[in-house]
Chain A
Amino acid sequence: MEAIGVLMMCPMSAYLENELDKRFKLFRFWNQPQKEEFVKEKANSIRAIVGNASAGADAKLIDSLSRLEIVASYSVGLDKIDLGYCKEKGIRVSNTPDVLTEDVADLAIGLILATLRQICACDRYVRSGLWTKGDFKLTTKFSGKSVGIIGLGRIGLAVAHRAEAFGCPISYYTRSEKPDSKYKYYSNVIDLASNCQILVVACPLTKETRHIINREVIDALGPKGVLINIGRGPHVDEPELVSALVEGRLGGAGLDVFENEPEVPEQLFGLDNVVLLPHVGSGTVETRNAMADLVIGNLEAHFLGKPLLTPVV
């Protein structure tokens, strides 16, 4: 397989890079100064793309690689891949579901606790020496608070399972009600936001779910409500979110993703009721290795004519 060209879109994992290097002819997209020239030149050898949450394969790139057979994403989210176009052109797509479910759900709960109990602010307080001058303020209890989840897939269910251990009543919104679910269903996001204190975004990013968290939803969540985003930045109308937080119209937010990563609105930096993370949802050694193994596994399966491990298209 050493002659098979694989185009890696951006740095994502040294381990994955090494493994791809060993097995295929690896092209590193981010190292090419003249990207369009490079693509034209190498189009004949590139048969696979490896993308992630930041960079995938749009129609333009797909069109310029006539020998492209498969796009293997180092992520579970597929918003950077033109899935419809891949299907049309007979290009396979794989992602990394299941292996990262627990880590992302763990992080959602970690964000809830860090936001409600102001754990990061407390840590800053101690490190700055302020504790010797006075006590930190009262914070907000998590156990027993109502949690609303947008998207009840693998990750949404894992978040619900964990929140239940804290005695939290769970409700959810999905495109259609899940008949087997024991949780309370709301047919629209505003009703969900009006009836929960902590709202967690755990659905895929599509045309329909872009800015699913808008001004109306933020208002419904209110000054005692907290928004947790472990989905994609564009799920949230970010300027609306920022002004709601700065003006105190929303109680708090725990955010792992942003509209223009790695840019994060600086107006949030001074707020104690906000936790800001650099897209670390699946960021553990164990999980990233498992994700890399899945990418390699899918590519090998494809080029050996075997069924894909985790096919999407």
Chain B
Amino acid sequence: MAEQQRHNHLPKLLVLGISPVFRLHEQKFAQRFEILRAWETPIFTEEFQASHAPHVRAMLCWGGTPVTAEQLSHLPALRLVVTSSTGVNHIDLRECHRRGIAVANSGNVYAQDVADTAVGLLIDVLRRISAADRYVRGGLWPVKGEYPLGSKLAGKRVGIIGLGNIGLEVAKRLEAFGCIICYNSRKKKPSVPLPFYLDVCDLAANCDILVICCALTDKTHHMINKEVLLALGKEGVVVNIARGAVIDEKAFVQCLVQGDIAGAGLDVFECEPNVPKDLLELENVVLSPHRAVFTADSFGDCFEHISGNLEAFFSNKPLLSP
């Protein structure tokens, strides 16, 4: 009986799907909140509607579970959606705003890991690390001799698209390698002493490398198109750790195959986990299965952050990362 009472005092948290963070830290979540698992009792069922819907004020979701207007209509008491991702493109933000529902993301917890991935992919493309590793593992070093030369990083002009938390961490790292940094963003950032380009094509024309760090929105969808890629040029390299759809993937693959740009490091794709077949044949691309945030360290930090946001909400304090 005491157990039940204690359980009932914990705030209710609707968990929409099993995110990697939730899977890793489920027990810890259960110690702080009463967990309602949407995959066990779907929200549109009578059972859920009767017992829980009137009391569910907070929900945890992730990139793999879209939050739609229809779902929101089944949750009249909902006032907060927390996502364990940085991206919020899977949430109907307009509908949330209309209903007065706050949305919180992972804030800054992943920024370092994502920036590390961006830099790791870039060095790999320029210095051919994965390709050379394949060469060695294939027993080719004694047979074919020296591996073809790569390209120096110092002195290269890097254009960062989207200078948010992640973009700034990427800039900080690449400056230490002697890269020259400039950026494109919705608006110029007066506190940042880096050259700003309002037009992405202009940025591309003045850079050797593009690193995509922006959110996926209506405006940024397919923003990196054939025009931008041709402006970047034959020696150009693209690194994408944002969302696949920021790039017009079809045009991009064509540019790579035809040699209109020199190479790419990609953690994200338009139709994950499907990767265009042509890319699998290329030596000048490095492919990663959307793992930029997937370290044990950052998942621990994410759990603390999500908890922090939820606890702030339930005690009527300001959210950590609205």
Seen from chain A, the residues whose Cβ lies within 8 Å of a Cβ on chain B are: 11, 102-103, 106-107, 109-111, 113-114, 117, 119-120, 122-127, 131-132, 135-144, 161-162, 164-167, 261-264, 269, 275-278, 280, 283-288
Contact = CB atoms under 8 A, between A and B. Distances in A.
Given A110-B129, A165-B173, A269-B137, A126 B116 contact: no
Nearest to A118: B291
Given A102-B153, A122-B287, A126-B287, A142 B133 contact: no
Given A109-B177, A143-B113, 16 more contacts: A103-B153, A107-B123, A107-B129, A110-B127, A119-B121, A124-B130, A124-B134, A127-B280, A140-B296, A264-B136, A278-B136, A280-B147, A280-B149, A280-B150, A283-B147, A283-B149
Contact of B176 (A107, A138, A165, A287): A165
Contacts of A261: 141
B247 interface: no
A132 to B, nearest CB: 5
Contacts, number: 175
Contacts of B153: 102-103, 106
- The secondary-structure label for the interface of chain B is helix
B154 interface: yes
Contact of A286 (B121, B128, B151, B295): B151
A53 to B, nearest CB: 11
B177 to A, nearest CB: 6
A139 B295 contact: yes
Nearest to A284: B152
B117 interface: yes
Contacts of A164: 176
B217 interface: no
A141 to B, nearest CB: 4
Nearest to A105: B177
Contact of A277 (B129, B145, B295): B129
Contact of B127 (A107, A141, A166, A288): A107
Residue from the set A126, A131, A262 with the largest chain B CB neighbour count within 10 Å: A126
B37 interface: no
Q: How large is the interface on B (under 10, 10 to 19, 20 to 34, 35 or more residues)?
A: 35 or more
15 contacts: A102-B154, A123-B286, A126-B275, A127-B287, A135-B291, A138-B296, A140-B295, A142-B116, A162-B177, A165-B172, A166-B173, A261-B141, A280-B128, A280-B149, A283-B127
A239 B274 CA distance: 40
Contact of A276 (B136, B142, B173, B287): B136
B152 A286 contact: yes
Contacts of B296: 138, 140-141
B136 A141 contact: no
B271 to A, nearest CB: 11
B119 interface: yes
B165 to A, nearest CB: 13
B298 A275 contact: no
A261 B142 CA distance: 8
B322 interface: no
A304 B233 CA distance: 43
Given A131-B289, A286-B151, A119 B130 contact: yes
A31 to B, nearest CB: 15
A284 B280 contact: no
B218 to A, nearest CB: 28
Contacts of A275: 129, 133
B135 A278 contact: yes
B128 to A, nearest CB: 8
Given A277-B129, A280-B150, A135 B289 contact: yes
Contacts of A125: 289
A162 B179 CA distance: 12
